Amino acid sequence: MSSIKNRRILDVLNGIPVDKTPVWIMRQAGRYLPEYKKTRAEAGSFLDLCKTPELASEVTIQPIRRFDLDAAIIFSDILTIPDAMGLELKFEDNRGPYFDNPLDNIDDVSSLTDKNTDTLEYVAEAIIQTKEKLNNEIPLIGFSGSPWTLSTYMVEGSATKEFRKIRSIVFKDPEMLEALTKKLVKSISEYLVMQAKAGADVLMIFDSWGGLLNTDNYINFSLNPMKEIINNLRNNQITKNIPIILFTRGGGIWLNQISESGCNAIGLDWTTDISTARKIVGENISLQGNLDPCALHGTEKSIKEAASKILDSYGFGHRHIFNLGHGIDQYVDPENLGILINHVKEYSKKYHQN
């Protein structure tokens, strides 16, 4: 692992100065790339793509061939875990991922298995093959959804408009949610250790829906379970020193609490002002983000301005990984992403002198 050539992201995560601000892009292997669409079509379904290591590793490195990125992120989906636990994951192109039999009560939770690493071996294999293809040029990020975020899909069946079913369960059946969370903490912890063992150099936890909760319930049902996972990773020989990034969409109001979770970096969505975030979390933790993904639909000039504003606003280069504040969308022109990445590299140099 220590032989990786481009160490900018690893250095930023460990608080070591770098020569320019590193950058990677959430969902960088995705539908905005024509080569991705081609491989996706060859694979058959989205799930086939996730479950075929040759193809998953191929789409993982596609954006690396095009852009000057400082990390790859393994191509997969956060819903692989619920799928492995026994809820059969389905995809339809015009609907998104869903489960036919979402969880209704604590008995449904009891029937789920939390021993999933064997079933999820295909992710480990995709990581092994990706590491070979990357040839130690840049680090590889592994990831999982957070317990709360996975719970939302498992209870709702899909990403619904208001998430009213799970938000009501929080109040009327917290025991069910606690039982589910407990299984997910175990399953996610083992899944992330497996990814690190297979070669992931960094781990990221995506809490896409933590922002649905009030503060008390965010702490109870989202942040504390993520902390438990971080503790589990720190107590494991394989992952005790691995850098961990934690991203809660809508988490801008809880940065103080998130900064005490034990993670190395906090991912910021685009709504949070990064200079305000810096002041709240202090200097001992890194920040990742946080350009509005829709800025990529602007002109060359407006893209550069929006990126410069974030770099200027951050104010000094150390402990910042540039990224979007959410995943890149399928309608972005890849050329615009190239403009963004090159601009960040060039423009950020002045913040990394001496």
Q: Which residues bind a second copy (CB under 8 A)?
A: 162, 164, 167-168, 170-172, 211-218, 250, 252-253, 270-273, 276, 290, 292, 294-295, 297-299, 302-303, 306, 309, 325, 329, 331
Rounded to the nearest whole angstrom, what is the least distance from the CB of residue 164 to a second copy in the complex?
6
31 in active site: yes
36 in active site: no
Measured from the CB atom, the residue of 45 and 214 that comes closer to a second copy is 214
Cβ distance 193 to 239 under 8 Å? Answer: yes
Active-site position among 8, 40, 249, 278: 40
40 in active site: yes
Rounded to the nearest whole angstrom, what is the least distance from the CB of residue 106 to a second copy in the complex?
16
Measured from the CB atom, the residue of 88 and 216 that comes closer to a second copy is 216
Helix, strand, coil % in the chain, rounded to nearest 5: 50, 10, 35
Rounded to the nearest whole angstrom, what is the least distance from the CB of residue 88 to a second copy in the complex?
24
What is the distance between the alpha carbons of residues 354 and 62, in angstroms, rounded to a whole number?
A: 34
Active-site position among 11, 70, 77, 201: 77
Pairing of strands 89-92, 96-99: antiparallel
Rounded to the nearest whole angstrom, what is the least distance from the CB of residue 306 to a second copy in the complex?
7
153 in active site: yes
Measured from the CB atom, the residue of 238 and 253 that comes closer to a second copy is 253
For the record, the structure tokens of 226 come out as: 């993520």
Q: Of 129, 141, 137, 153, give the one whose Cα is nearest residue 80.
A: 153
Pairing of strands 286-291, 140-145: unpaired
Across 98-133, b (16+ Cβ under 10 Å) vs e yields bbeebbeeeebbeebebebbeebebbbbbbebbbee
164 in active site: no
Active centre residues (catalytic):
27, 31, 40, 77, 153
